Amino acid sequence: MKAGAMLRKVKSRSWKKQRHFRLQEDGQTIWYKSRWAGTGHSTFSVADVDVVREGHQSEILLSIADEFPADLCFTLVFRGRRSNLDLVAESPSEAQVWIRGVRKLIQNTESMNDKERLDQWIWDWFQKADKNKDGRMNFKEVRTLLKMMNVDMNEEYALRLFTMADKSESGCLENEEFVQFYKMLTEREDVWRVFQDYSRDGQILTLAELEDFLKQEQQEGERSLEHAQELIDRYEPSENAKKHGAMSIDGFQMYLVSPESAVLDPQLLALHQDMSQPLSHYFICSSHNTYLMDDQLRGQSSQEAYIQALKRGCRCVEVDCWDGPNGEPVVYHGHTFTSKILFRDVITTLAEYAFKVSEFPVILSLENHCSMEQQRVMAQLLDTILGDTLLTAPLDRLVPQELPSPQDLKGKVLLKAKKIGGLEESETLTDEVTDEVSDEDEADPKSLSKSKLSRELSDLVVYCKSVHFHSFEYSRLHSKCYEMSSFSESKARKLAKDTGAEFVRHNSRQLSRVYPSGMRTDSSNYNPQELWNVGCQIVALNFQTAGLEMDLNDGLFSQNGCCGYVLKPDFMRNDDSFDPERPQDRNGYTSLRLSIQLVCFVISGQQLPKVNQKEGSIVDPLVRVEIYGVFQDQAKQETSYIDNNGFNPLWNETLNFIVHVPELALVRFVVEDYDKASRNDFMGQFTVPFTCIQPGYRHIHLLSKDGTAIPLSSLFVNIKISELTTEV
């Protein structure tokens, strides 16, 4: 791989171009260019590759299967929303070199511990800064390095650090000397101050001192002593300190940057909630027009969109079905220029990927625009491809009084669609004319025409029968637990504002689905929080569009094993009257004070991506903390900005919030590059459910706009949560 190879990069059946690919010396970066590109080239990190698919395992490679056999083809699937890279090798052996090689590199990257990641990061910087590739770095190269790292450092101070690290007095830093230079550059004054507050001699934390820190700052309880010993055993690098039951500053820093000390409680990351309650008692991770990779008018429809959504924990996917040629139903956004894919291929993809990330049920939301004949084809395809995973009858053959639980429905696909009659009625063998239409067509008066449902398709609907919503009173008196309605975002918002408490009660018994306005042709999203506030379970978003709304969605569903189901608060699951507009009226109401001291913004690894790529430009970062929840909890505060320091800016500012309904609140940390002349540029964010926050000194590991990790980049904060003693 380091010697390089010519591979065909394939974008379509007509676009197949040769590129020279080569693994760089760092063993982590793949470089490629066209032979005609001059000095121009592209690179990507192996760490950005999620998986390597072998053979014709993409729509693009399948389209050229008649030209290139499967043993020449492979696909690199990237993390986040980046497009796949489809490649064709010159020979089967060459393909295997790259398939096995990239897989091995991915495995190596994923198995690295924190020290190995740091060593790799230092080596990467050394390679970038060593412009003449002589294995040494002079002071001019060091000054260039500092600019690359987002550091605007006084030249005299930089020279002093350089001279201190230059033990050989050669005027250049070799590898080990560069490591020393890096350590001096990244000394954590913020962590040192915390360490000094609890260390009597300023050199180590005794077991008792570490226990005191865990009790006082990390708000740990009775097992602080036991935990202190565990931390020393786990993180202390000095055997001598370990032997004396103590922790050095190095061990203390390793603990503070570990996943164990992250802002999101790792115990709540795992599957831990009660999964035996009715489906209506959970928020369900849901996608709108799942087949689209881009906008709603001309975007590409793709099976890959379903794979990506399911990998993100999505448990409700949507399929828009229309009559296709040769009796084969197709999936696309009707009456637009979006491309078409076969319904058969969508269901095949669902069968393969539905339960790779989560074992809990997938709801297949069917928008049916097909003729009777092709509806029967759809029913046959669903039955034959999904087999036993498709739920086709009530559990135990009993008519339910309440919906079954995610636990009961593990490994099952549930069809959400129109249904002839109900579960209580005896089967007949006739089709039926109905005045009900596809859910989302209800918002379009032109679509309100009678349509026919096939009995074969209708019979596959069990617990998710789509019905028209009349009123909350009508639903309370007449609706069955297995009947559910879909609402446009505007209709759902109005109901939430006008009759929030009734909406909450309705959603304790029945499922509700909310979908984006038809005016969002750019695939933008609405804020899901206000619909979660009234207990709507299936709040469908355009997963292909990054931004605040998907950050909130990813934040909510980051807990409970990322299984796509989050148990609603108990006051939304019973008949208690909870009104999100008046949270103080609920039983057991207690508001909390959230205090966040932004101690330091740390980049202990790769720097935040520069928004302005102009050489020499350095960011002016600020941090904004945003609270999303019930109306009374919506709040934003931000720090001042720090001039010219994207490497280790210090704020030492405290932000305070009052939170009335912590069970529904999400806290979003955003880092931006301040610009006095225009809008600030986004740099990174992290969103966490309030109830999953660990108090104390914590690191917040930042994500890109795309939702992927920015390696080793974080905020260092001190979080305190307390009950209010007086009403505010």
What are the DSSP calls for 131-157, one per residue? TT-SS-EEHHHHHHHHHHTTB---HHH
Residue with tokens 């069809």: 415
Q: What's the chain's Rg over C-alpha atoms?
A: 28
Of the listed ranges 146-155, 193-202, 667-676, the least confidently predicted one is: 146-155
Which CATH architecture fits 115-186? Orthogonal Bundle (1.10)
Tell me what percent of the residues of the chain surpass a pLDDT of 70. Answer: 92
Residue numbering of the annotated binding site for substrate: 416, 418, 486, 513
Quick count: other Cβ atoms within 10 Å of Cβ 124?
18
Domain ranges of the chain: 5-111, 115-186, 189-261, 279-423+451-574, 596-723
Whole-angstrom distance, CA of residue 540 vs CA of residue 332: 17
The whole-model pTM stands at 0.90
Q: Which of 333, 506, 699, 701 is catalytic?
A: 333
pLDDT of res. 231: 96
Q: Strand pairing partners for 87? A: 9, 74
Q: Taking the domain 279-423+451-574, which CATH number applies?
A: 3.20.20.190
723: pLDDT strictly greater than 80: yes
CA angle 670, 672, 675 (to 5 degrees): 150
Topology of domain 596-723 in CATH is Immunoglobulin-like (2.60.40)
Q: How many CA atoms lie within 13 A of 49 on its CB side?
A: 24
359: pLDDT strictly greater than 70: yes
Domain range 189-261, its CATH number among 1.20.1250.20, 3.40.80.10, 1.10.238.10, 1.10.390.10 = 1.10.238.10
Mean pLDDT of 705-728: 82
Residues 184-213 have pLDDT tens digits of 877 788 889 999 999 999 999 999 999 999
The amino acid present at 185, given as its one-letter code, is: L
Residue 227 bears catalytic tag = no
Whole-angstrom distance, CA of residue 313 vs CA of residue 664: 20
Residue numbering of the annotated binding site: 289, 318, 320, 367, 416, 418, 486, 513, 618, 620, 644, 673-675
Quick count: other Cβ atoms within 10 Å of Cβ 82?
15
Residue in 140, 139, 135, 144 with CA at minimum distance from that of residue 174: 135
Whole-angstrom distance, CA of residue 545 vs CA of residue 620: 27
Q: Which of 56, 288, 369, 660 is catalytic?
A: 288
Residues 369-421 have pLDDT tens digits of 999 999 999 999 999 999 999 999 999 888 999 999 999 999 999 999 999 99
Same-fold call for 115-186 versus 596-723: no
Domain range 5-111, its CATH number among 2.40.37.10, 3.40.1160.10, 3.30.230.70, 2.30.29.30 = 2.30.29.30
pLDDT of res. 491: 97
